[in-house]
Amino acid sequence: MLQHPPAPPVISRSTAVLLMGLLALVTASFYSLAIKWGELFSADALRSGLEFIAGFAPPELAGPFLLKIAGATLETLSMSALSTLIAAALGIALALPASGRMGGALYAITRLMLNVLRSIPELVWASILLIAAGLGPFAGTLALAAHTTGVLGRLFADALENLPPAPETTLRINGATPLAAFCYAALPQILPQLMSYTLYRWENNIRAAAILGVVGAGGLGQMLKYHLSLFQMQQAASVIIAMLLMITVVDGASFWLRRKMTGS
Amino acid sequence: MLILLWPMLVFSEFKPWILFEAQSLQASWQFLASFVPPAHSGEFLQLLMVATWQTVAIATAGLTLALLCAIPLALLATESLSISMLETGRMRLAGGLIRQAARWLLVLLRSVPELVWALLFVRIVGLGPTAGVLAIALTYGGMLGKVYAEILDSSDVHGTETLLKNGSGRLAALFYGALPEAAPELVSYTTYRWECAIRGSVVMGFVGAGGLGQRMDESLKMLAGDEVASMLIIFVLLVGAADWVSTSLRKRLG
């Protein structure tokens, strides 16, 4: 009679431990947060929630108010475009040392810098920069630029590091200066990648710029926060609709552009 | 280029010289100077630990609820489980309508930014983590549901089709056909979103939804630089840790 080895377990032991850990994490989260389910689903809360939602209708559509919204939308778009430009310039400047072209010490320092810039979200940057730049869209622009510099710098540096080194080395061996070798060998190779990363971040930044204002950094978010805190629900509803419209339009445009560019 | 740039500079009130005015220089300098040394009294660190845990817990609980809302919606929205499509090449009207409705609901849930959901919930349920959990649950429910449906649609349908053609129920076809095929991708995307939710829950604290963000907002308003400094450090570490956990999980499962 043939001896069959025992069938392998359905889940391996390490996966089982992992799943148990996840379960424990979820349980502990719900337990420690003490979410007020009772209050949330009580008749009282439901009624005030419904009242709250009913307050949104109809959205404020008066001419002057719509003009104000249009202004804030333009402000939001300018913040995002300007900050992406700044971030692309700073990003490439930081990516050069961060791709290991200027020695180990600079590599470590710039990578750390990019990591810190990147891991602090735009909103946190905005609320810190408010102190230096004052309330308004300028602080928002700087905040977006700071975070995006971290993101783009890292992506650019990775792109530079992953380049095949042969063309640049050839130029260098034949006596080209480092700058010339970079401009003629490395840059043309990564340029399409840089462009597509930058455009992608711009799209992201439009969305981020829309909400940054919640801490007072300009744009549509600032209007939303203002009207919500005055309990002017109808105005707030218009601002939210404007936000959604802007995001949808940008999404649509970028989808269309990408399909065009990938050429189909 | 210049013609485009100029109005942008005006609209965003781009005035770099503000940064270098004596008054703002002094304010920033005082604030930055108070960063060193970061606050490190035992009591404060304990407070910070509680807030950090709260942030992680908000993200985890929010994502769990998001899963509860995303999975049924994704199953409603995916085309890979349509029986009428298999038989006639077209969806029945009722099935098509339900799918479209599920899709629209998902679009609505995810296009309102999480911060806006949080602002609204803070008005309804009051300050605290409940608003954050609900905001994450709704936004991420929308995102996860959409991506789950897309993954199920784009994965190899051969197994599912065979099962459905031979008369298996939809759930059975899902469990034995589509799910094994798509599981690694589904899990990997979910872990990635958990990482995003941690960042999101810090940010939502700024509008009063609990956790590290709310504490940071308070300290910033009091210009307590030393507290802000230690919070930023903790925050960078937390994001790094979440990044590491999610990458290693994805490597293991993917």
Closest CA to A76 of A229, A240, A227, A211: A211
Contact B14 A138 (CB under 8 A): yes
Q: What is the pLDDT of residue A256?
A: 85
Contact B252 A18 (CB under 8 A): yes
Closest CA to A243 of A218, A216, A209: A209
CB half-sphere exposure, A159, CA atoms < 13 A:
23
User: Is there a domain that residue B226 lies in?
Assistant: yes
- Over residues A213-230, the mean pLDDT reads 86
DSSP A210-223: HHHGGGT-SHHHHH
Contact B60 A29 (CB under 8 A): yes
Q: What is the pLDDT of residue A8?
A: 64
Cα–Cα distance for residue pair A206/A250, rounded to 1 Å: 8
User: Is there a domain that residue B2 lies in?
Assistant: no
Check residue B13 and give left, alpha or beta (phi > 0: left; psi -120 to 50: alpha): left
CATH 1.10.10.60 fits A59-262, yes or no: no
DSSP B3-53: HHHHHHHHHTT--GGGGGSHHHHHHHHHHHHTTSSPP--HHHHHHHHHHHH
Residue B97 Cα, gap to closest chain A Cα (Å) = 22
Contact A82 B8 (CB under 8 A): yes
User: Is there a domain that residue B59 lies in?
Assistant: yes
B186 Cβ contact list (under 8 Å, min separation 6): B148, B151
Residues of chain A contacting B24 with CB distance shorter than 8 Å: 132-134
Residue B75 Cα, gap to closest chain A Cα (Å) = 23
CB half-sphere exposure, A188, CA atoms < 13 A:
7
Residue in chain B closest to A208 (alpha carbons) equals: B113
Q: What is the tens place of the pLDDT at every residue in A86-125?
A: 999 999 999 988 888 778 889 999 999 998 898 888 888 9
Other Cβ atoms closer than 10 A to B125: 21
Q: Work out the widest C-alpha separation in chain B, in whole angstroms.
A: 79
- The per-residue pLDDT string of chain B (254 residues; one tens digit each, 9 = 90 and over) reads 677 777 777 777 777 777 777 777 787 788 787 777 887 788 888 989 999 999 999 999 999 999 999 999 998 888 777 777 666 666 677 788 888 888 888 888 888 888 888 888 888 888 888 889 999 999 999 999 999 988 888 877 788 888 888 888 888 888 888 888 788 888 888 888 988 899 889 888 888 888 888 888 888 888 888 888 898 888 888 888 888 888 887 777 65
Q: What is the pLDDT of residue A2?
A: 58
Cα–Cα distance for residue pair A21/B245, rounded to 1 Å: 12
User: Is there a domain that residue B14 lies in?
Assistant: no
Contact B11 A78 (CB under 8 A): yes
B212 Cβ contact list (under 8 Å, min separation 6): B48, B51, B52, B54, B55, B202, B205, B231, B234, B235, B238
The CATH number given to whatever domain includes residue B148 is 1.10.3720.10
Q: What is the pLDDT of residue A263?
A: 63
> Which among A121, A137, A248 has the least Cβ separation from residue B203?
A121
Q: Are A76 and A209 in contact (CB under 8 A)?
A: yes
**Number of domain units in chain B:** 1
* Mutation for B interface: A27, A78, A82, most B CBs within 10 A: A78
Q: Are B13 and A82 in contact (CB under 8 A)?
A: no
User: Is there a domain that residue B98 lies in?
Assistant: yes
What Cα–Cα distance (Å) separates residue A73 from each residue in A79, A85, A169, A211, B108? 10, 19, 48, 11, 20
The residue to which tokens 């719509």 are assigned: A66
| Cα Rg of chain B, angstroms | 24
Q: How many residues does chain A have?
A: 264
Tokens describing residue B180 = 């094994």
> Which among A29, A137, A211 has the least Cβ separation from residue B115?
A211
How far does Cα B77 stand from its chain's mean position?
Answer: 21
Contact B28 A215 (CB under 8 A): no
Contact A115 B236 (CB under 8 A): yes
Q: What is the tens place of the pLDDT at every residue in A13-46?
A: 777 888 888 899 898 888 888 777 776 777 777 7
Label residues B217-244 b or e (16+ Cβ within 10 Å = b): bebbeeebbbbbbbbbebbeebbeebbe
Beta strands in chain B (DSSP E): none
Other Cβ atoms closer than 10 A to B104: 11
Residues of chain A contacting B228 with CB distance shorter than 8 Å: 128
ipTM score here? 0.77
Output the pTM of the full model. Answer: 0.81
For chain A, percent of residues with pLDDT exceeding 90: 16
Q: Which domain holds residue B174?
A: 41-253
Check residue A8 and give left, alpha or beta (phi > 0: left; psi -120 to 50: alpha): beta
Contact B236 A133 (CB under 8 A): no
Cα–Cα distance for residue pair A202/A200, rounded to 1 Å: 5
DSSP one-letter code for B92: -
Surface-to-core class of residue A193, CB atoms within 10 Å of its CB (0-12 exposed, 13-18 middle, 19+ buried):
middle
The residue to which tokens 């043309």 are assigned: A188
User: Is there a domain that residue B11 lies in?
Assistant: no
